[in-house]
Amino acid sequence: MDSTQLAGKEAGKVLDALAAISVQLSCHANAPPHTLVLSASKVRETCDAIDQAVTSLKKILTIAADERGGSVS
C-alpha cells in the first residue's frame, strides 16, 4: 500500500470516529441543549472515538512527514 492509500485509509478512520462521536453526543435528541445528559458508558465510548481519531491524525502526519523527508508543522 503506498503512502497516499495509507493516508486515505487513516483519514477514513478519522471520519468514522467523528461520525461516531456525532451520533453518541446526540443520544438525547429531544432534550434541550443545556440539559444534555450522557451515561458513563457513552462518555467512555466518545473518549475512545476521540482517541482513535487523534491516533489516526497522527499517523497521517507521520505519513506526510515520511513522504516529504522531514516533519510536518
**Predicted model pTM:** 0.68
Please report where in the chains the cell 478512520 appears, as a residue: 13
Please report where in the chains the cell 510536518 appears, as a residue: 72
**How far is 52 from 47, CA to CA, in rounded Å?**
9
Predicted local distance difference test score (pLDDT) of residue 4: 81
pLDDT in tens, 33-57: 777 677 889 888 888 888 988 998 9
